[in-house]
């Protein structure tokens, strides 16, 4: 009776009950073994703890029952449920190695300017949002990009005043490293012509006064005046973020820059049984690390759904806002070299403070000067802090070619985001010029130097869809197929390497490889059923992959077309 009930629930696209063993049969299974090689299988057996029991090369066969039972013998117990996948492709659950969970969720419930193609289109969207939300004391949003608008400059407060002038407006750049304020927001924050940017920040000026754009640490001047999200807003945002992750086949994500408010939202969700996605948390600075985890990394909580294991720091800004710290000046802004957000000695002190308590260190470094400085710091600290540290360099976008071999030392992991190359190759060329790009987004060079490479999205500043990330990693082309033949095509990677970086290596980067990421027996049964065999598809076709079902811990948590 119980088996029939569970089978009926599975057929209705509902999660099966806890502690139910099962089999996902008739699949075109694609997984990775312990060395990262492709494994093919036809059925996946799940034990009653939601872990992978076995991968079968062919279809599942019920235990044979031909022999006569002796007195006292019983037939072996079969699975509680069985799902025939109809020959669809099944792959391990995808892991986003670098994202911002709460930032993504809050973007869903605030003004989103991503996708706007001009300043005028953005202004119209801002006006419409203000008209639809007259009770808001501030208008908060994200996603603007002056490069996509073809503006040739940063927007100004006057541009924003033309859309809304009677309510403070604060909008973050698509890369998260700059913000755009209207005049009322600046007055509310007491920003005048005499305002000074803090170290690691820059105030864009026009006519001797702030223009309305604040870069990196200067953003804090406006942010301190803007109201923070309420706990209930964070709860709503987290649920929306989870829905987006699951719909894209992402079963786990490394959350870079977890605040105490973010962590409390994660715990509230998990306490009520609503946290489906696995979150590998890296604290936003030392204060949050100590407040959340205390003297050491937390254990895995809620059946491997949540753990704070590390510290996230940021050495420099982004290329788009010319905050990336470069060894030489910007080609399109001579005299500017970007921003060093954490000076050398404080950087080492922060990293050492976390390392002495066995926290993993994950540091964002975009420009070649930032990457070189971080490599120096890791080399120095590795003399003191031994063992399996897995120092993470996040972004690693622009690297001096002479520094590339150094990534293969001291157990460094390159945590990189393929979609940034697709969205930013024109901008990167303008910022640096052709001759300085030999170490830009150098995925293949990292692999050739035996560096573990974990792929992520940078969401909400990057496109969440990991299939688009795979396609970019394999082709070095954007969604329009440009540049034809790929931008710096020598840095393309194989399908096997791309899948590995979104699964096994991303789990390894977060010390989770023994728990999930590869569908190896004993791991959590996290997997995705998709509409095509991506192992034989062209990159352009991989981009169009549709996620049909997402399973976490042996439970179906998403099915295309079925509301959660």
The tens digit of pLDDT for each residue in 22-38 reads 999 999 999 999 999 99
Indicate if 154 and 247 belong to the same structural domain: no
pLDDT exceeding 90 applies to what percent of the chain? 88
The residue among 224, 248, 273 that closes a domain is 224
Q: Quote the pLDDT of residue 75.
A: 55
- Cα–Cα distance between 223 and 221 in angstroms, integer? 6
Q: Do the domain assignments include residue 65?
A: no
Write down which residue in 188, 209, 224 finishes a domain. 224
Contacts of 493 (CB under 8 A, 6+ apart): 443, 444, 447, 473, 474, 501
In tens, the pLDDT along 322-346 reads 999 999 999 999 999 999 999 999 9
Average pLDDT estimate for 200-209? 93
Is the confidence at residue 67, as pLDDT, over 70?
Answer: no
5-14, 198-207, 279-288, 417-426, range with the lowest pLDDT? 5-14
Question: Could you tell me which of 421, 297, 413 has the C-alpha nearest to residue 359?
Answer: 297
pLDDT tens profile 126-137: 999 999 999 889
Residues 332 and 372 in one domain: yes
Q: Is residue 352 part of a domain?
A: yes
Q: What's the pLDDT at 72?
A: 65
Q: How many CA atoms lie within 13 A of 551 on its CB side?
A: 32
Average pLDDT, the chain: 93
44 and 24 Cβ atoms separated by less than 8 Å = yes
Residue 433 lies in a domain: yes
- DSSP string covering 110-138, please? SEE-TT--SHHHHHHHHHHHHHH-TT-SS
C-alpha to C-alpha distance for 215 and 321, rounded to whole angstroms: 7
Residues near 510 by beta carbon (within 8 Å), at least 6 away in sequence: 95, 97, 252, 254, 280, 309, 310, 360
Residue 471 inside a domain? The answer is yes
The per-residue pLDDT for range 45-57, each reduced to its tens digit, is: 999 999 999 999 9
- What is the pLDDT, as a whole number, of residue 52? 97
Q: Are residues 438 and 492 in the same domain?
A: yes
Confidence of residue 78 (pLDDT cuts 50, 70, 90): confident
Contacts of 36 (CB under 8 A, 6+ apart): 496, 497, 500, 504, 505
Calculate the CA 296 to chain-centre distance: 24
Name the residue range of residue 286's domain: 231-511+519-559
Same domain, 362 and 444: yes
Does 211 share its domain with 239?
Answer: no
Q: Does 257 lie in the same domain as 219? A: no
Give the whole-angstrom CA distance, residue 10 versus residue 28: 19
Q: Please check whether residue 88 lies inside any domain of the structure.
A: no
For range 419-423, the mean pLDDT: 92
pLDDT at 194 over 70: yes
- Give the per-residue pLDDT at 423: 87
CA distance 426 to 430: 6
What's the whole-model pTM score?
0.90
What would the pLDDT profile of 482-509 be if each residue is shown by its tens digit?
998 999 999 999 999 999 999 999 999 9
Give the pLDDT confidence score for residue 14 in this predicted structure.
44
CA distances for 56 relative to 30, 78, 82, angstroms: 12, 15, 14
Number of separate domains in the chain: 2
Look up the CATH number of the domain holding residue 357.
Answer: 3.20.20.140
Same domain? 187 vs 261: no
Q: Are residues 213 and 358 in the same domain?
A: no
């Amino acid at each position: 009776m119980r088996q029939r009930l569970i089978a009926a629930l599975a057929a209705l696209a509902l999660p099966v009950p806890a502690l139910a063993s099962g089999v996902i049969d008739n699949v075109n299974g694609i997984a990775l073994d312990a060395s990262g090689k492709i494994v093919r299988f036809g059925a996946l057996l799940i034990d009653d703890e939601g872990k992978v029991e076995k991968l079968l090369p062919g279809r599942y066969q019920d235990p044979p029952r031909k022999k006569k039972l002796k007195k006292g013998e019983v037939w072996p117990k079969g699975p509680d449920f069985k799902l025939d996948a109809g020959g669809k492709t099944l792959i391990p659950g995808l892991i986003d190695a670098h994202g911002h969970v709460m930032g993504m969720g809050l973007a869903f419930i605030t003004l989103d300017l991503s996708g706007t193609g001009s300043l005028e289109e953005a202004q119209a969207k801002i006006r419409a949002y203000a008209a639809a939300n007259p009770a808001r004391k501030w208008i908060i949003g994200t996603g603007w990009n002056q490069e996509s608008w073809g503006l040739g400059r940063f927007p100004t407060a006057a541009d924003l005043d033309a859309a809304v002038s009677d309510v403070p407006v604060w909008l973050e750049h698509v890369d998260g490293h700059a913000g755009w304020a209207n005049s009322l927001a600046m007055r509310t924050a007491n920003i005048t012509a005499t305002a000074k940017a803090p170290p690691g920040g820059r105030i864009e000026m026009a006519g001797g006064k702030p223009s309305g754009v604040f870069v990196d640490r200067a953003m804090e001047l406006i942010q301190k005046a803007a109201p923070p999200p309420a706990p209930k807003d964070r709860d709503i945002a987290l649920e929306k973020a989870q829905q987006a992750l699951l719909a894209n086949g992402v079963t786990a994500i490394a959350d870079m820059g977890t605040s105490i408010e973010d962590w409390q939202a994660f715990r509230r969700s998990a306490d009520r049984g609503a946290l489906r996605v696995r979150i590998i948390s890296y604290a936003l600075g030392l204060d949050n690390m100590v407040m959340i985890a205390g003297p050491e990394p937390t254990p895995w909580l809620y059946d491997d759904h949540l753990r704070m294991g590390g510290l996230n720091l940021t050495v420099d800004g982004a290329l788009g806002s010319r905050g990336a710290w470069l060894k030489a000046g910007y080609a399109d802004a001579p005299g500017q070299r970007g921003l060093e957000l954490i000076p050398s000695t404080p950087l080492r002190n922060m990293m050492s403070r976390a390392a002495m308590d066995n926290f993993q260190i994950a540091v964002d470094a975009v420009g070649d000067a930032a990457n070189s400085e971080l490599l120096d710091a890791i080399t120095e600290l590795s003399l003191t802090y031994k063992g399996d540290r897995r120092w993470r360099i996040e972004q690693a976008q622009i690297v001096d070619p002479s520094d590339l071999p150094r990534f293969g030392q001291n157990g460094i992991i390159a945590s990189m985001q393929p979609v940034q190359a697709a969205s930013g190759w024109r901008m990167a060329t303008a910022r640096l010029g052709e001759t300085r790009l030999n170490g830009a987004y150098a995925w293949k060079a990292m692999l050739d130097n035996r560096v573990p490479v974990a792929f992520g999205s940078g969401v909400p500043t990057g496109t969440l869809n990991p299939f688009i990330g795979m396609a970019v990693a394999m082709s070095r082309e954007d969604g329009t197929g440009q540049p034809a033949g790929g931008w710096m095509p020598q840095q393309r990677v194989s399908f096997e390497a791309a899948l590995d970086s979104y699964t096994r290596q991303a789990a390894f980067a977060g010390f989770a490889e023994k728990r999930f990421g590869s569908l190896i027996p004993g791991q959590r049964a996290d997997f995705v059923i998709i509409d095509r065999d991506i192992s034989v598809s062209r990159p352009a076709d991989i981009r169009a992959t549709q996620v049909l079902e997402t399973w976490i811990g042996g439970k179906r948590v998403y099915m295309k077309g079925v509301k959660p």
